[in-house]
Amino acid sequence: MSAEPEIEIEEELPLQELPLDGWHRAKGARMVGFAGYHMPIQYEGIMAEHLWTRAHAGLFDVSHMGQLVFTGEGVDAALEAIIPASLTSLTVGRQRYSLLLDEEGGILDDLMVSRRPDDIYMVVNGATKYDDIGWLIEHLPDEVTMSLLDEHALLAVQGPEAVAALTRLVPGVEQLYFMQCAGFGWEGHALWVSRSGYTGEDGFEISLPAEAAEAFADALCAQPEVKPIGLGARDSLRLEAGLPLYGHDLTPDISAIGADLGFAILKKRREAGGFIGHARVATELAQGAPVRRVGLAIEGKLPAREGAEIFAGAQQVGTITSGGHAPSLGAPIAMGWVDAAHATLGTTLEIEVRGKRIAARVAPMPFVPHRYHRQPS
């Protein structure tokens, strides 16, 4: 018996340790190489951890991600010249999802950007953070200072009981709505907390000094609602939530509109442009994107995984970009890139797995409904 590598393991550079490395090992985590770090893939098992998060609350260590802060004269305009987010309308305590696009409109990364009282705070993917920093340095004017918070950990608490657990430690976080953020304190340490995450559940992401991470993780896991959750369940949770994973569902080979991320670009910026990659966005808003990221519901039990080819009859019309068993649904699901002519909801397609064709249907995402704590409108 032999397993395919579970995730891409980078062997060029020695793997680095995250602030919670020893903590994960003490909790019984199985560690793997991911994004240049030793990271926990699972503790008690992916299925149990996934279902626990959907029913209670899970603690995820996402300290491998890049936490960047920007300050200086004209920082809003400087960032708006690079990313399609609208910074001028971003008020203190608000967070938005945005993208780094290349000159051709391909996706270099996806990210969260928020305004804090004294700076702009951005979270980018771990595997891409050094490339992102290079790209930003190249395009930012000298007046803007960018720093990497490499002495900070980033933890996510996700699930319907996350608010109860975190409020006990950090009173006041319950007042935040989805995509709002604010500064709090815990035992003398400064926390920056946003009500957001990547599981489709209500929850929080907490940036804190690395030296406080272990005690804070212990305090969270001492709450009856909270268990530590590994990368494996993080992946199955985000797939069920229809959320794309950079390096798989998003790459420079797909555009913002093709990836169905047009929501991240507000009307004003779609029309006026002025950010890198706008020409492609404008063209595809008018004419449609030739390739689209879609969700796929799969008949039967056999999972279709990344790289599997998608067919309409004899013609290959796409490729699976991520797929697997959905623990909350008890069935396989997938995301893929499909030629626009075959990307309409309900279109029946076939996926080839080990020489066999399995039936699939273009399905609405999320596969499992989001349960964000949105501000009543």
Partner 1 sequence: MSRYFTEDHEWVDVAGDIATVGITNYAQEQLGDIVFVELPEEGKTFDKGDDAAVVESVKAASDVYSPVSGEVIEANGALEDEPALVNSDAEEDGWFFKLRLTDASELDSLMDEAAYTKFVAGL
Q: Return residues touching partner 1 (CB under 8 A).
A: 1-6, 41-42, 45-48, 50, 232, 235-236, 301-303, 305, 324-325, 327, 332, 354
For the bound state, the minimum distance from the C-beta of residue 45 to partner 1, rounded and expressed in Å, comes to: 5
**Number of neighbouring beta carbons within 10 Å of residue 7:** 17
Any idea which residue has 């809003």 for tokens? 76
For the bound state, the minimum distance from the C-beta of residue 293 to partner 1, rounded and expressed in Å, comes to: 22
Structure tokens at 60: 């995820």
Contact between 202 and 195 (Cβ < 8 Å): yes
**Number of neighbouring beta carbons within 10 Å of residue 70:** 20
For the bound state, the minimum distance from the C-beta of residue 264 to partner 1, rounded and expressed in Å, comes to: 29
Q: In this complex, which beta carbon is closest to partner 1, that of residue 49 or of residue 205? A: 49
Q: In this complex, which beta carbon is closest to partner 1, that of residue 50 or of residue 278? A: 50
Q: In this complex, which beta carbon is closest to partner 1, that of residue 50 or of residue 115? A: 50
Strand pairing partners for 168?
Answer: none
The 3-state DSSP class for residue 145 equals strand
Q: In this complex, which beta carbon is closest to partner 1, that of residue 80 or of residue 240? A: 240
Q: In this complex, which beta carbon is closest to partner 1, that of residue 230 or of residue 258? A: 230
Contact between 221 and 59 (Cβ < 8 Å): yes
Contact between 192 and 212 (Cβ < 8 Å): no
Any idea which residue has 């503790």 for tokens? 43
For the bound state, the minimum distance from the C-beta of residue 370 to partner 1, rounded and expressed in Å, comes to: 21
Cα 44 to the center of its chain, rounded Å: 23
Q: In this complex, which beta carbon is closest to partner 1, that of residue 6 or of residue 214? A: 6
For the bound state, the minimum distance from the C-beta of residue 348 to partner 1, rounded and expressed in Å, comes to: 21
- 118 class by beta-carbon count within 10 Å (0-12 exposed, 13-18 middle, 19+ buried): exposed
For the bound state, the minimum distance from the C-beta of residue 231 to partner 1, rounded and expressed in Å, comes to: 9
Q: In this complex, which beta carbon is closest to partner 1, that of residue 285 or of residue 302? A: 302
Q: In this complex, which beta carbon is closest to partner 1, that of residue 234 or of residue 269? A: 234
Give the residue from 89, 45, 72 showing the smallest Cα distance to 265: 89
Structure tokens at 105: 């409109």
The 3-state DSSP class for residue 346 equals coil
Contact between 83 and 230 (Cβ < 8 Å): no
Structure tokens at 122: 């951005």
Calpha distance 137→144 (Å, rounded)? 9
β-strands 66-71, 189-194: how paired? unpaired
